[in-house]
Structure 1
Amino acid sequence: MSVRPEARPSEARSRLLNTATRLFYAEGIHAVGIDRIVAEAQVTRATLYRHFPGKEDLVLAYLNEVDRAMRGQADAAVAAGLPPADTIRALSKSIAQSIQSPGFRGCAFLNAAAEYPDPESSVHKAVLAHRQWFLDTVTELLAKIQKTGAEPAARHFVMMRDGAMAAGCLFDPVLICETFLRGVDRLLQVYAVTDYSGPAGA
């Protein structure tokens, strides 16, 4: 189905979103004001508010872009057609590569949650929705290995991933990623042969 011309993002909207994405991730959402985004995107405030009625709308669009990129990572791992355990390993390697990329500043969603702690906030709800999708995705992959304990094992995986992303911007990312990938291998080994009940059972 073709996209109607009016539905295509304008160049100004793309510049705004790209600028906001770069600044929000590198410096923090609350630290970056609308005036700075407008100046660096080289648009007027009127143009910004035509596309994003408020700053929170721009923040949600930023998180949607990050969500879409991460879903792309997961889709690429699944599309390779590997056995479920190898698909999880491939997804883990993709996460490790992002941790070792220049300018890595941790998980964009965990960073956003820290700045928007109110559970009623639209931003906080967007973070929870993304994290639920990720947990569900890993749970579905693990359930293809064995159904018993798939969700506890997936929660263990997400916890390791969160730890790696938090530590990866503080310490040697290569060492952190090696530890993370070894942990994933160990999790898969234990999960495949036990009635998995969580980290304590490993």
Structure 2
Amino acid sequence: MSEARSRLLGTATRLFYAEGLHSVGIDRIVAEAKVTRATLYRHFPGKDDLVVAYLRGADQAIRDRAGEALGSGRPAAEVLLAIARSIAEDIASRGFRGCAFLNAAAEYPDPAHPVHKAVLAHREWFLRTVTDLLAQTGESPPEPAGRHFVMLRDGAMAAGCLTDPTAVCETFLQGVEGLLRFRAAPMVPGARARSG
């Protein structure tokens, strides 16, 4: 990656996350990145391309952190807890403004828009990852539990920038632990399974 592209993307990432996608204009990004407009358009044909690159960078950072847990050789339930703790660390971090992907979806609601598609691609990967891990814990079918995990995450991300993040993180982690305990508990014969 060229130095100019890296500066542009770093500046856009900081501003987009802190202030929103629509509220930050190209002129501001160019000025703060100390590049020309021509340089920006050489690397990103339009603002939407820059927004998509920002989301892909956020997606890759999350994939890399999940990859560390996935490659640890620990049991699937411990990997899920490690992923949950990583999410809690984000929520408790300084400058947390919610989920970059949920924020982007709110600003770009059209499902056909490239920004919205980038959001969906990330969410599909995340759901598939946690569902696969839940399948390894013996959950059958794992899909409802995977959706439950994602909803716990979404709720924690939304609440984390609106209220005390410490309490939100504790509640989120308790919810994930409860989900895993329930999934690990043997069903009583004849009892109806919860849908998750």
Do the two structures share a fold, i.e. TM-score over 0.5?
Answer: yes
Residue 58 in 1 paired to residue 50 in 2? yes
Q: 1:79 to 1:112 in 2, by over 3 A?
A: same
Trace 1:86-165 onto structure 2 (pairs within 5 A): 86-165=78-157
* Whole-angstrom distance in 2 between the partners of 1:179 and 1:31: 32
* Whole-angstrom distance in 1 between the partners of 2:125 and 2:70: 15
* Whole-angstrom distance in 1 between the partners of 2:194 and 2:36: 55
* Whole-angstrom distance in 1 between the partners of 2:86 and 2:74: 15
Instruction: Please tell me whether the aligned partners of residues 134 and 146 of structure 2 are also in contact (alpha carbons under 8 angstroms).
Output: yes
* Whole-angstrom distance in 2 between the partners of 1:97 and 1:58: 27
Q: Which residue of 1 aligns with 2:26?
A: 34
Residue 198 in 1 paired to residue 189 in 2? no
Q: Which residue of 2 aligns with 1:169?
A: 161
- Measured after TM superposition, the shift of residue 134 of structure 1 is 0.1
CA RMSD of aligned residues (A): 1.1
Size of the aligned set, in residue pairs, is 191
1:132 is paired with a residue of what secondary structure?
helix
- Measured after TM superposition, the shift of residue 77 of structure 1 is 1.0
Cα offsets for 1:122-181 (capped at 9, x unmatched): 110110111000000000000001141211001000000000010001111011000000
* Counterpart residue type for residue 151 of structure 2: M
1:53 is paired with a residue of what secondary structure?
coil
* Counterpart residue type for residue 160 of structure 1: L
Q: 1:196 to 1:46 in 2, by over 3 A?
A: farther
- Measured after TM superposition, the shift of residue 46 of structure 1 is 0.4
* Counterpart residue type for residue 191 of structure 1: R
Residue 43 in 1 paired to residue 73 in 2? no
Q: Which residue of 1 aligns with 2:3?
A: 11
* Whole-angstrom distance in 1 between the partners of 2:15 and 2:195: 37
* Counterpart residue type for residue 198 of structure 1: S
- Measured after TM superposition, the shift of residue 66 of structure 1 is 0.0
Give the TM-score taking structure 2 as reference length.
0.95
Residue 69 in 1 paired to residue 61 in 2? yes
2:137 is paired with a residue of what secondary structure?
coil
Runs of 4+ in 1 over 3 A off after TM superposition: 194-197
1:111 is paired with a residue of what secondary structure?
helix
* Counterpart residue type for residue 141 of structure 2: G
Aligned residues with identical type, % of pairs: 66
Instruction: Please tell me whether the aligned partners of residues 139 and 183 of structure 2 are also in contact (alpha carbons under 8 angstroms).
Output: no
